[in-house]
Structure 1
């Protein structure tokens, strides 16, 4: 992992902190119990339950280390400093998809908390990158896997 700072909204920070707490307090105990049960089966050299539990433990510890690293490198986006003059990280924008003639609302976030299902798109994604710095009324063209699409920015808010 690089030393690149991780941009987070206050909500994104809380989600990572909550996830980390669950992994450390709940999931670690569950995996330790699975390992304990697998050892009780006897010879661990040919014990698939033990191997699976140890693999799960390794993945869990890797995830914990990744989240802790993200928190150390976190730069929190101050909601009071989010400009509504132009699109920036932390801003929620309403755009019109000119290809489909429909309105969509996105929040531009750092890549660590992007979630397309919640309409939170990364500043590093093609759409996020194209929208950054643009103002209400501007139209942007975005290269997407299916070709090119156009968005008109209708509103920028915090």
Structure 2
């Protein structure tokens, strides 16, 4: 059996929407290729070649999204959870720099930099690995490129 992919309900929904957009793009590309093929002068046209390459990329993305969604298992952090888990929204304090960060722990396949709400942190990133399973009040040291940053987990909640 294929490996299951845990993810949040929001992440699943975003991936479904992305799949729908990719399917629409693929259909438009197929129509464009058919139109270019109908014009005999375009049989060796560079536009036809580029459209076929784009179609292959779109088809690969559609297959990838279908696979991820087929293996997805929706996991939500229950309200009042004491430990950080997938779906948890965590308030982190970086006391050295005097700032707080509100992050949500999500799976790597559902990261969306344009999503509204808390900053998404992948469960396989250094920050994600450091906070997973921890509880409010814990301090975690995270190695980021050339330095180590200490965060204190201020609170844990659900989105």
TM-score relative to the length of structure 1: 0.89
Give ranges in structure 2 of 5+ residues lacking alignment.
Answer: none
Aligned match of 1:5: 4
* RMSD (Å), alpha carbons: 1.9
**Greater mean deviation of Cα atoms: 119-128 or 13-22:** 13-22
Residues 41 and 143 of structure 1: CA distance in aligned 2, closer, same or farther (over 3 Å): farther
Find 1:29's aligned residue among 27, 30, 43: 27
Aligned to 2:70: 72
- Equivalent in the alignment of 1:114: 111
Pairing 1:2-151 to 2, within 5 Å after superposition:
3-24=2-23, 26-39=24-37, 40=39, 42-44=41-43, 46-80=44-78, 84-116=81-113, 118=115, 119-151=119-151
8 Å contact from structure 1 (residues 114, 121) kept in 2: yes
Normalising by the residue count of structure 2, what TM-score does the alignment of the two structures yield?
0.88
Name stretches of at least 5 consecutive residues in structure 1 with no aligned partner.
none
Whole-Å separation in 1 of the counterparts to 2:132 and 2:113:
17
Q: Sort the Cα spacing of 1:149 and 1:107 in 2 relative to 1 into closer, same or farther, 3 A.
A: same
Task: Report the CA distance between 1:124 and its aligned residue.
Answer: 0.5
Following TM superposition, where does structure 1 have runs of at least 4 consecutive aligned residues deviating by more than 3 angstroms?
A: 115-118
Equivalences, count: 154
Q: How far does the alpha carbon of each residue in 1:52-110 deviate from its partner, in whole angstroms, 9 at most, with x for none?
A: 00001000100000000001110110344x66201111100001012311000000011
